[in-house]
Amino acid sequence: MHSLILFMVLGLSLVLVVATLVIWLSKDLLVAILASAIVSLIASIFFLVLQAPDVAITEAAIGAGLTTGILLYAMKIAGRYEDD
Amino acid sequence: MPYEIHGLMPFIYVGLIMLGVVFSLIRFLVGPTAPDRVVATDILTTITTVVLVVLALFFDRQIYLDVALVYAVLAFTAVVAIARFLEGGL
Amino acid sequence: MIRKIVAFIFAFYFGFILYSFIYTHFPFGERPLKGVAAHYVEKGVQEEGATNIVTSIVTLYRGFDTLGEVTVLFLAATGLGLLLAGWKEEEKEKPEPTLIMETTTKYLFPLVLLFGSYIFIHGHLTPGGGFPAGVVIATGYFMMFIAQKEFKPSEYLLSATESFAGTLYVITGLLGLALAFSFLANVAPLGVPNTVFSAGIIPIIYIIIGFKVGSEMTGILQHMKEV
């Protein structure tokens, strides 16, 4: 069972790395906001695997809607596309 | 002591979950327009809820279900917000 | 370019450390505890009465840190209000929300508020507490902001709730100082562990923090909406 959970953590951390690379390289800020939502999801799973349900529930509550909302309001002011 | 789930079932759970994660990640990376990516993120949120429930089963702790409940109640807010942003009404 | 390479190397190194930590410590919670951690785990339930030991550490043993966090959040909300005070949105035509969204959010909003209250009332029994509960409540308000045509909570009421809750928190701490000679001491009766009415002042503090964080976050969202 433990090795199975470890396998799942390994796969999800690859997804985490891919989502972080998308945040870093994307010129479309909407895609970056979506990718940061994915990072928050996977971080919440990791906190639960690390036996920290209080941290996991805080991460879930913040990442599920509030961060996306505040970043969208900020993007409405700043513009959607990053210019070089 | 975690609750023992015998046989092949946990491997099937984790295999199917990882398959779903891989396909929705591909849609997120390829998806030509923004709505495709929004739908991929929404599916990943649902898969996350499933993963949290499965982890509560693996660790044999009922109180871990509260974390999954948060996603179940609040997950659609982000999608609605992005939809409103795309139609220009935020 | 060199900056990006350095950032990539740093991120890779950090990820490697995190992964090796997870790999070597994996069945968590099976190593022997020592020092103050052992005291929290062994004596925490007897001393403070909360089944969720993290809760008693956050609100009582390390209560000053929580007061600092609440102050930081208050300063952030005030600074954002100050920063956005002069900005005004030019009036433009917004598409109306559809009937489905409006009706769904109208009926879901009380349930989200109920769920937030559940999280902060049961903070000493289940995972959660004041901060996640406040954020859940603020997310409910955010849902109403984006999906209703006319929805505007009174700004006066939000500030009043926030200030009242902050004052009440400090008064609870000073009560401990007056009755038991230490700030935020657990002066209320402990009760039977694992029931709702237990753990002394922890539920009271979490109710206060839930109201404070919820009103602060709603205020931040409302300020950002109006810009």
A15 shares contact with chain C (CB less than 8 Å): no
Residue B1 lies in a domain: no
The SS3 assignment for C220 reads helix
pLDDT(B1) > 50: no
In chain C, % of residues over pLDDT 70: 97
Q: Which residues of B touch A8 (CB under 8 A)?
A: 14, 17-18, 51
Residue from the list B73, B80, B88 with its beta carbon closest to the beta carbon of C147: B80
Number of domains in chain B: 1
Q: What digits encode the pLDDT tens for the residues C48-107? A: 777 888 888 888 888 888 888 888 988 988 888 888 877 776 667 778 888 888 888 889
Give the pLDDT mean for C162-185: 83
B11 and A1 within 8 Å at the Cβ level: the answer is no
Q: Which residues of chain C are at the B interface, by a Cβ-Cβ cutoff of 8 Å? A: 94-97, 101, 111-112, 115, 119, 126-128, 132, 136, 139, 142-143, 146-147
Q: What digits encode the pLDDT tens for the residues B8-57? A: 788 888 889 999 999 999 999 887 888 899 999 999 999 999 999 988 88
pLDDT score for B19: 92
C97 and B81 within 8 Å at the Cβ level: the answer is no
Q: How confident is the model at residue B4 (pLDDT cuts 50, 70, 90)?
A: low
Q: Which residues of B touch A5 (CB under 8 A)?
A: 55, 58
Number of domains in chain A: 1
The SS3 assignment for A81 reads strand
Q: Phi/psi at A28 (nearest 5 deg)?
A: -90, 115
Q: Where are the domains of chain C?
A: 32-87+95-226
Query: In which domain, by residue range, is A72 found?
Result: 2-78
Residue B3 lies in a domain: no
A84 shares contact with chain C (CB less than 8 Å): no
Mean pLDDT of chain C: 83
A28 and B45 within 8 Å at the Cβ level: the answer is no
C30: DSSP letter: -
Instruction: Report the distance separating Cα B16 and Cα B24, nearest Å.
Output: 12
Residue B72 lies in a domain: yes
B62: DSSP letter: G
Q: How confident is the model at residue C147 (pLDDT cuts 50, 70, 90)?
A: confident
Please say whether the beta carbons of C206 and C124 come within 8 A. yes
Q: How confident is the model at residue B3 (pLDDT cuts 50, 70, 90)?
A: low
Q: Which residues of C touch B88 (CB under 8 A)?
A: 94-95
* pTM score, whole prediction: 0.86
Instruction: Report the distance separating Cα C19 and Cα C23, nearest Å.
Output: 6
Residue from the list B17, B41, B71 with its beta carbon closest to the beta carbon of A34: B41
Q: What digits encode the pLDDT tens for the residues C27-37? A: 666 777 778 88
pLDDT score for C29: 66
Residue A83 lies in a domain: no
Residue B62 lies in a domain: yes
pLDDT score for A84: 62
pLDDT score for C91: 67
Instruction: Report the distance separating Cα B60 and Cα B54, nearest Å.
Output: 10
pLDDT score for C198: 76
Residue C10 vs residues A40, C13, C15: alpha-carbon distances, Å: 20, 5, 9
Residue A8 lies in a domain: yes
